[in-house]
């Protein structure tokens, strides 16, 4: 079995865990990463604490990077330009920042190029990028990890509003799915803010709270019992600039139908969801993969074969197939590594006709 | 031709006061009518903190607004505005205005404890609702409700009459406070048996509890003691 080689695209939690497992099984790995560092989105956005255990993100990501760094052939600041089938493998052309193209012969490919956060500027009525003191959860992670959670006045915010489902569950931007992690991330951030600024008022505006599975008591209940984070049901419809760089929200408390809400806050955080992003779209195009109805990459069978793509020899891991938590992505990385190992050593490729079926989607 | 909108204000939330004093000046004429604010401009977070720091209200933070308490509530059949879930929600948000608007419902709990037994999160709903009501009373945000008035009359009668109630004093005070009491006809009907059995003596001059002077001190001390949760 000597000489088997697998290309891993992306070095986030999924890509790193897949690389690690393949190395452990004695398979050569070529890693392609668009950025100049390993670690993916958790490193790029400088994640502070991870839900639900509230442990530093570096505790999870750094060991993964350590086991991989320097042990595989890595193309940094490079992208996969194209793929040609050759024999029972692929010839991949990899383009670096300066435009230089190198080729690599591999037996299988794992696409783990992940997601990008929704850009809240597309919801113009929220005023992100125009009104000061409106941030996204993806900005706040960095502010928290660098301990610089301040308003434009340079003082810690005393009144904070967090709005959920920005760019998720919203037909006006074409995203009809739930991004799964934003509820948990927002509640985690609310608790982190209350931990640092105990006299701050934090309100979460929600439609549903989806701290699914084992996160219910650790996040949703705990935030109310121990931190007194306020939950107000209702989606804010617009933000206005108030005096002294405050942000005035306009909303409705749908739990107690009586009056419209016009409330000022020092800081507003938009819980922007997940999208496939341009990076992964380019990867999917270069590898010749199909998209499913939400814009993510379609697996061969979402239930039975979730880490196999619709193209033989290419495997998928992490948020490229839909919104996922870090632990989900790591699990999928392991699964994809195992499937790729079976494929390159024994040629195992299971078939399913699910992807070919015409799917009726409920349109809004 | 009369304009119906002007003759009969249909605007919800219009309040009229008999006497209005603003900046030391008493207003008269038509200036005594006000609109209740129609937008909510802020929540007072101190309400949640204060109620959660009382003995009765310290389970308020557990609530997750499922509505189990309200759907089985005894009182809700009689008063559709009576909703423990809503009281808890408003108190936690600090929406005092809405709680003030609900003051005719807020006091009506009959303490059947169905809500407390059914709550999936272990909120002591009955106690929490009383804590919310007590908060509103303490800060003068609601007028004294009939329940509280009767409690006070009852306690006063007990303390005055040596540890037990006197029906005459209690009846008189209740009538004075505007509660429905026995009619003259009922009193006449009752007086015959009372006179014949000799119970009239107890009614006119009720006997006291043994060692009342010492017990009274204990009771007064207990009532003045402020209890705070650990």
At A278-287, the pLDDT tens digits run: 999 999 999 9
| A61 class by beta-carbon count within 10 Å (0-12 exposed, 13-18 middle, 19+ buried) | buried
Whether residue A363 lies inside any domain: the answer is no
Answer whether residue A191 is part of any domain. Answer: yes
Find, in chain B, the residue whose alpha carbon is nearest to that of A204. Answer: B93
Examine the domain organization and report whether A93 and A171 are in the same domain.
Answer: no
Please report the number of interchain residue pairs, chain A to chain B, with beta-carbon separation below 8 angstroms. 61
Axis-axis angle for helices A326-346, A13-24 (nearest 10): 40
The mean of the pLDDT values for chain A is 93
Domain count, chain A: 2
Contact B84, B72 (CB under 8 A): no
How far B130 CA sits from the closest chain A CA (Å)? 20
Q: Is residue A175 assigned to a domain?
A: yes
Q: Are residues A197 and A217 in the same domain?
A: yes
Q: What is the mean pLDDT of chain B?
A: 85
Q: What is the pLDDT of residue B10?
A: 47
Q: Which residue has the tokens 């509530």?
A: B73
Is A364 within the bounds of a domain?
no
The residue among A240, A258, A260 with the most chain B CBs within 10 A of its CB, best to mutate, is A258
Rounded Cα distance, A251 and A205, in Å: 9
Note whether residue A74 is domain-resident.
Answer: yes
Does a structural domain hold residue B119? yes
A3-12, A202-211, B48-57, B164-173 — which is least confidently predicted?
B164-173
Residue B8 confidence (pLDDT): 47
pLDDT of amino acid B19: 78
d(CA B59, CA B122): 8
Do B63 and B92 fall into the same domain?
Answer: yes
Q: For residue A227, list chain B residues with Cβ-Cβ distance below 8 A.
A: none
For B140-156, the pLDDT digits (tens) are 999 999 988 999 999 98
Last residue of a domain, one of B77, B105, B138: B138
Q: Check pLDDT > 50 for residue A318.
A: yes
Decide if A256 and B65 are in contact by the 8 Å CB cutoff: no
- State residue A162's pLDDT score: 97
Q: Distance, in angstroms, between A110 CA and closest chain B CA?
A: 43
Q: Looking at residue A224, which CATH number applies to its domain?
A: 3.50.50.60
**For the segment A44-102, what is each residue's pLDDT rounded down to a tens digit?**
999 999 999 999 999 999 999 999 999 999 999 999 999 999 888 999 999 999 999 99
Report the alpha-carbon distance of residue B172 to residue B153 in Å, rounded. 10
Question: Is pLDDT at B85 greater than 60 in this prediction?
Answer: yes
Task: Return the percentage of chain A with pLDDT > 90, whole number.
Answer: 87
Across A266-270, A279-283, B98-102, B170-174, least confident range? B170-174
Instruction: Print burial letters for A137-160: b (CB count within 10 Å at least 16), e (below 16).
Output: bbbbbbbbbeeebebeeeebbebb
Q: Which is it for strands A267-272 and A274-275: parallel, antiparallel or unpaired? A: unpaired
Is A132's Cβ below 8 Å from some Cβ in B?
no
Chain A hits for B70, CB-CB cut-off 8 Å, are: none
Residues A95-111, mean pLDDT to the nearest whole number: 95
Residue B9: its pLDDT value, please?
45
Domain identity same for A131 and A262: yes
* CB-based contact A259 B101, cutoff 8 Å: no
If asked whether residues A197 and A326 sit together in one domain, one would say no
Please check whether residues A28 and A73 belong to one and the same domain: yes
Q: Is the pLDDT of residue A13 over 70?
A: yes
Block residue for tokens 């950025």: A35
**Is A242 an 8 Å CB contact of chain B?**
no
Q: How confident is the model at residue B225 (pLDDT cuts 50, 70, 90)?
A: confident
Domain contains B1: no
User: Total domain count for chain B?
Assistant: 3
The pTM score is 0.83
Do B52 and B29 lie in one domain? The reply is no
Quick one: A33 and A165 in the same domain? no
Q: Are residues B33 and B51 in the same domain?
A: no
The verdict on a CB contact (< 8 Å) between B39 and A261 is: yes
Q: What six digits make up the tokens of B9?
A: 């204000």
Is A20 inside any structural domain? yes
- Tell if the CB–CB gap between B39 and A201 is shorter than 8 Å: no
Domain that holds residue B102: 46-138
Q: Is the pLDDT of residue A135 over 80?
A: yes
Question: What is the C-alpha end-to-end distance of chain A, expressed in Å?
Answer: 51
Task: Work out the number of other CB atoms within 10 angstroms of the CB of residue A6.
Answer: 28
* A256 within domain boundaries: yes
Could you list the residue range(s) of the whole structural domain that residue A214 is in? 118-273
Q: How confident is the model at residue A3 (pLDDT cuts 50, 70, 90)?
A: confident
pLDDT of B17 strictly over 80 = no
């Amino acid at each position: 079995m000597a000489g088997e080689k697998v290309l891993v695209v992306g070095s986030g939690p999924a890509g790193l865990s897949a690389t690690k497992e393949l190395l452990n099984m004695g398979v050569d790995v070529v890693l392609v990463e668009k950025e100049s560092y390993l670690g993916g989105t958790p490193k790029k956005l400088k994640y502070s604490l991870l839900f639900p255990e509230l442990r530093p993100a570096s505790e999870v990501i750094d060991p993964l990077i350590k086991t991989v760094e320097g042990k595989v052939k890595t193309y940094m600041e490079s992208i996969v330009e194209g793929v040609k089938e050759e024999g029972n493998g692929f010839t991949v052309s990899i383009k670096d920042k300066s435009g230089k193209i190198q080729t690599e012969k591999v037996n299988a490919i794992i696409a783990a190029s992940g997601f990008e956060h929704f850009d809240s500027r597309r919801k113009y009525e929220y005023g992100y990028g125009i009104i000061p003191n409106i941030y996204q959860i993806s900005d706040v992670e960095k502010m928290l990890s660098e301990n610089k959670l301040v308003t434009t006045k340079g003082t810690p915010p005393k009144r904070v509003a967090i709005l959920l489902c920005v760019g998720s569950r919203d037909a006006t931007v074409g995203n009809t799915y739930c991004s799964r992690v934003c509820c948990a991330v927002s509640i985690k951030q609310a608790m982190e803010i209350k931990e640092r600024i105990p006299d701050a008022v934090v309100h979460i505006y929600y439609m549903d709270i989806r701290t699914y599975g084992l996160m219910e008591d650790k996040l949703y209940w705990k935030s109310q019992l121990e931190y007194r984070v306020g939950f107000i049901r209702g989606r804010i419809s617009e933000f206005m600039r108030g005096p002294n760089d405050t942000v005035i929200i306009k909303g409705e408390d749908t739990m107690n139908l009586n009056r419209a809400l016009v409330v000022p806050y020092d800081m507003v955080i938009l819980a922007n969801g997940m999208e496939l992003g341009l990076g992964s779209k380019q990867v999917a195009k270069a590898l010749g993969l199909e998209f499913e109805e939400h814009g993510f990459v379609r697996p061969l069978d979402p239930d039975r074969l979730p880490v196999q793509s619709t193209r033989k020899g290419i495997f998928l891991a992490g948020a490229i197939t839909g919104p996922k938590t870090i632990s989900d992505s790591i699990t999928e990385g392991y699964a994809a590594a195992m499937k790729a190992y079976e494929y390159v050593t024994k040629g195992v490729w299971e078939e399913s006709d699910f992807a070919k079926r015409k799917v009726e989607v409920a349109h809004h | 031709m009369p304009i119906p909108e002007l003759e009969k204000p249909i605007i919800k939330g219009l309040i009229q006061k008999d006497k209005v004093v603003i900046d030391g000046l008493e207003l008269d004429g038509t200036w005594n009518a006000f609109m209740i604010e129609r937008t909510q401009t802020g929540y007072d977070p101190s309400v949640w903190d204060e109620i959660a720091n009382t003995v009765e209200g310290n389970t308020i933070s557990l609530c997750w607004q499922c509505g189990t308490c309200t759907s089985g509530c005894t009182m809700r059949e009689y008063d559709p505005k009576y909703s423990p879930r809503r009281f808890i929600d408003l108190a936690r948000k600090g929406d005092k205005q809405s709680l003030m608007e609900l003051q005719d419902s807020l006091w009506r709990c009959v303490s059947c404890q169905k809500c407390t037994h059914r709550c999936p999160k272990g909120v002591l709903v009955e106690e929490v609702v009383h804590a919310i009501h007590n908060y509103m009373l303490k800060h003068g945000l609601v007028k004294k409700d009939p329940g509280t008035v009767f409690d006070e009359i009852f306690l006063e009668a007990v303390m005055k009459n040596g540890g037990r109630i006197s029906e005459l004093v209690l009846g008189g005070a209740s009538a004075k406070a505007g509660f429905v009491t026995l009619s003259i006809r009922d009193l006449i009907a009752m007086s015959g048996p009372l006179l014949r059995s000799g119970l009239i003596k107890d009614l006119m001059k009720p006997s006291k509890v043994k060692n009342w002077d010492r017990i009274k001190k204990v009771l007064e001390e207990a009532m003045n003691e402020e209890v705070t949760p650990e």
